Structure 1
Amino acid sequence: MQSQANKQKRNGKLPKAFIVDSTTISLNKTRYPWAEFRTTKSGVKVHLRLAYIGKGDAYPDSAVITNASVHDVNQLEIVVDERLATYIFDRGYLDFELFDKFSHDGFFFISRIRKNSLVKVREEYEVPSGGTIFQDQMVVLGGKNGYLTDPYRLVEVMDTQENLLRIITNQFDLPSEEIGQMYRARWEIELFFKQLKQHTTIKKFFSRNEDGLKNQVYLALISQLLTYLVKLETQSVLSSLTIQRYLFASLWEDSELGETRIRGKPTGSD
């Protein structure tokens, strides 16, 4: 894996970064009996791959919708399908054998391990003084007659709320500070889910049919992607949410006025 990363770096190609996570949409048990979740309610789960460009700059790249009872890790291999890209996900996707498979198949990942994960240190790396990095090590995970992984890198970093994060990755060529920053970028998908649920048309579903409900969620994701494309086309510095609001408002106004607002130029009438 190190050789693949170094080769990629020599070719001057920056690896793509994707953030992977899921969000659950609760549903009425009587109206949606097909959406298995809990004994008292139904639900669907959106498993999303978010393409990460930079802070506040991301767009939906791939999505799978399942019943809410489906475990996240069971969908991970479906959304991880582009080699030499880096996938960032939380410890809900922890699967040592799957991590090894990703490494062998040419996928990079950045994730977290649980506090009770067994760690065997193979090598210590020097960490920058005065920073937020506490440990940088080569390790293997597992043991005590359990599964023992390939060598990985374990970076311990303090987050903004002074919590210690134990980040595991197969990226050995990046500075430890960059590993920490990339994992913290995972917050972007939480913001995306919040915007998706609060500002698109999935608060109320128009169909009780499985295909109809899924189509409505996919349309909501498409609207988010189109908003991002508008942001790129206009070279706007506004947030996607602000652009989306301007787009809704411009449905009943002069389209040039809406475009001017999105571009961030004075309209002369505001």
Structure 2
Amino acid sequence: MILKSKENIYAFDSSTIDLCLNVFWWAKFRKAKGGIKLHTLYDVNTQIPAFLHITPANVHDVKAMDELVYETGAHYIFDRAYLDYTRLYKIERCSAYFVVRAKSNTKFRRMYSNKVDKLTGIRCDQIGKLSGFYTSQEYPEKLRRVKYYDKESNRTFIFLTNNMKVTAEEVALLYKKRWQVELFFKWVKQHLKIKSFWGTSENAVKIQIYCAISAYCLVSIVADKLKLERSTYEILQVLGISLLDKTPINELFMNIDYSNVKELDYNQLSLSLF
């Protein structure tokens, strides 16, 4: 079975933004350090966030899963920080699929194995159940355990999934798509300047972050609708320096010389976004 482009694939992860606890008193993190977490459900197909949840940094990642509404037939990709079997079983009951990286101490009882081609990096493809006393009650159904060796990083990964139809190689490829949400966090922090806030209250910080994410989504929509073969940041630069230009947006990108688009300074980029 080959994954079709119409199948929704989501990567869920969080990123921490450090804050000064003396200024942002509500953002509890450590004893002398504050921070917030951006819990993001990233749509891999459309390249935009489908869901965003902001919490103080001391909130555990796995608790944000309670805010998700799962789509039937969609795939959800998690790192091992989200290995909570009660919450994963909720995905199973919603007739959706998940791929999560297993921990080294995961107790798994193999029932049978599928044949694998070790030249693809797959070391084993097993069907079985969790054998731990509590975990077997939290997730009573069958699970699939895939062990994969990544030659590029010289690392071995073990994945758990409830999808019995895709190939073992596709399970590994699905997990690789999780990296896109990491790139999204990196892009947002580098180019949308949300490390410096104009207000100190919780509401002010959330508004600024939502504005930044909205700017990202709008730029992505413009790129998709106009079929622009340019990076999101290049499009953002053009829009930032053309705010007072009355040229229709579809013509704006036809006559622009991208080689002359320079890095905007901090104040200009901030004003163009907020």
Unaligned ranges ≥5, structure 1: 1-5
1:48 to 25, 40, 55: 40
- Quote the residue 1:85 is aligned against: 74
SS in structure 2 of the partner of residue 106 of structure 1:
coil
Unaligned ranges ≥5, structure 2: 262-274
Cα distance in 2, alignment partners of residues 267 and 214 from structure 1: 33
1:259 to 249, 253, 259: 253
- Quote the residue 2:159 is aligned against: 167
- Quote the residue 1:156 is aligned against: 147
In the TM superposition, residue 212 of structure 1 has moved relative to its aligned partner by 0.9
- Quote the residue 1:146 is aligned against: 134
2:227 aligned with 1:235: yes
Cα distance in 1, alignment partners of residues 108 and 68 from structure 2: 27
- Quote the residue 2:115 is aligned against: 126
In the TM superposition, residue 238 of structure 1 has moved relative to its aligned partner by 1.9
- Quote the residue 2:265 is aligned against: none
1:115 to 104, 115, 137: 104
In the TM superposition, residue 95 of structure 1 has moved relative to its aligned partner by 0.6
Cα distance in 2, alignment partners of residues 177 and 167 from structure 1: 11
> 1:134-181: per-residue Cα shift (whole Å, max 9, x none)?
1111121242x3321321111111223021110111111111111111
Q: Is the 8 A contact 1:260 1:267 kept in 2?
A: no
Q: Which amino acid aligns with 2:83?
A: L
SS in structure 2 of the partner of residue 70 of structure 1:
coil
The more displaced of 226-235 and 57-66 is 57-66
2:181 to 178, 189, 199: 189
> 1:118-143: per-residue Cα shift (whole Å, max 9, x none)?
11111100112421111111121242
Q: Which amino acid aligns with 2:239?
A: L
Tell me the TM-score normalized by structure 1: 0.86
Cα distance in 1, alignment partners of residues 159 and 17 from structure 2: 28
SS in structure 1 of the partner of residue 48 of structure 2:
strand
Q: Is the 8 A contact 2:100 2:175 kept in 1?
A: yes
In the TM superposition, residue 246 of structure 1 has moved relative to its aligned partner by 2.4
2:64 aligned with 1:70: no
Cα distance in 2, alignment partners of residues 224 and 261 from structure 1: 23
- Percent of aligned pairs with the same residue? 30
- Quote the residue 1:221 is aligned against: 213
Label 1:205 to 1:140 Cα distance change in 2 as closer, same or farther (>3 A): same
Cα distance in 2, alignment partners of residues 267 and 41 from structure 1: 41
In the TM superposition, residue 79 of structure 1 has moved relative to its aligned partner by 2.4
Q: Is the 8 A contact 1:48 1:79 kept in 2?
A: no
Cα distance in 1, alignment partners of residues 80 and 210 from structure 2: 26
- Quote the residue 1:3 is aligned against: none
The count of aligned residue pairs is 254
Q: Is the 8 A contact 1:156 1:166 kept in 2?
A: yes
Cα distance in 2, alignment partners of residues 267 and 185 from structure 1: 29
Tell me the TM-score normalized by structure 2: 0.85
In the TM superposition, residue 269 of structure 1 has moved relative to its aligned partner by 8.9
> 1:48-68: per-residue Cα shift (whole Å, max 9, x none)?
011011xxx611111010111
Q: Which amino acid aligns with 2:134?
A: G
